[in-house]
Chains A and B, each alone.
Chain A
Amino acid sequence: DQQVKQNSPSLSVQEGRISILNCDYTNSMFDYFLWYKKYPAEGPTFLISISSIKDKNEDGRFTVFLNKSAKHLSLHIVPSQPGDSAVYFCAASYNFGNEKLTFGTGTRLTIIP
């Protein structure tokens, strides 16, 4: 049973526009969420995170929004750049410091020049 879902396997966005990647979860015990970015032939790299006590966290061009009632989070990238083309994974854990991250299946983002 997939507890963290990324329903869009792929997304194409024009350079300079906003990219919005979505993630849904089913387990209400999750209270810490992360986004990882993965380039081909490389391992995932941490991008941004958010605790359930917040509904927004911003880091430069990247903003993560959390809607606990809908069990939904999204990653916004503004403006999108060609180097943002990658696979994005969302992940969740039960509490900060928990070793066991549950990952989504990933969304491949392609930025069109």
Chain B
Amino acid sequence: DADVTQTPRNRITKTGKRIMLECSQTKGHDRMYWYRQDPGLGLRLIYYSFDVKDINKGEISDGYSVSRQAQAKFSLSLESAIPNQTALYFCATSDLAGERKFFGPGTRLTVL
């Protein structure tokens, strides 16, 4: 079984809709992250969490919110989706070192 799982794997939604992307991990890591990947821009950090009570904004947090429901679960929400949020979204975890991250398989989100 995969250590970091993401649901859904693909999602098509309409402008203005609320959508939630979910991430679960079995690695036992405290640190979890949400990234988005756009063509020509690499991966960019949206939010990260050191533990259930510690949530931090990344470089592109506007338009997104997160919830850390448990050590193993970290969800990303788009309260009102817009077309420029169409991207590939990755959840990741890491141990205390931080740099060496373990990524989930990604969620491809399309906002029409």
Binding site for B on A (CB under 8 A): 2, 4, 32, 34, 41-46, 49, 89, 91, 93, 96-106
Do A97 and B99 contact each other (CB < 8 Å), given the known contacts A104-B42, A105-B41, A106-B42? Answer: yes
- B103 and A97 contacting across the interface, CB-CB below 8 Å: no
Do A44 and B99 contact each other (CB < 8 Å), given the known contacts A100-B58, A103-B44? Answer: no
Name B9's closest neighbour in chain A (CB-CB): A41
- A100 and B42 contacting across the interface, CB-CB below 8 Å: no
Those 6 A-B pairs whose CB atoms lie nearest each other, nearest first: A43-B103, A103-B42, A103-B43, A105-B42, A97-B98, A46-B100
Q: Which residues of B contact A93 (CB under 8 A)?
A: 98-99
Do A34 and B104 contact each other (CB < 8 Å), given the known contacts A44-B43, A89-B42, A100-B45? Answer: no
Q: Mark B19-53, 1 if CB is under 8 A from A, else 0.
A: 00000000000010100000011111100100000
| Contacting residues of chain B (75-95) with chain A, CB-CB under 8 angstroms | 90, 92
- Pick the contact of B105: A41, A91, A98, A101 (CB < 8 A): A41
Q: Which residues of B contact A45 (CB under 8 A)?
A: 102-103
- Pick the contact of B97: A97, A100, A105 (CB < 8 A): A97
- B43 and A96 contacting across the interface, CB-CB below 8 Å: no
Give chain B's interface residue range (CB within 8 Å of chain A).
20 to 34
- B31 and A43 contacting across the interface, CB-CB below 8 Å: no
- B45 and A43 contacting across the interface, CB-CB below 8 Å: no
- B99 and A101 contacting across the interface, CB-CB below 8 Å: yes
Known: A2-B41, A44-B101, A99-B48. 8 other contacts (CB 8 A): A43-B104, A45-B103, A49-B100, A96-B99, A98-B98, A101-B101, A102-B42, A103-B43
- Pick the contact of B43: A2, A89, A97 (CB < 8 A): A89
Give bound CA distance, A18 to B91, whole Å: 32
Q: Which residues of A contact B97 (CB under 8 A)?
A: 96-97
- A44 and B90 contacting across the interface, CB-CB below 8 Å: yes
Q: Which residues of A contact B109 (CB under 8 A)?
A: none
Name A90's closest neighbour in chain B (CB-CB): B42
Q: Which residues of B contact A104 (CB under 8 A)?
A: 42
Q: B72 near A: Cβ within 8 Å?
A: no
CB of B31 to closest CB in A, whole Å? 7
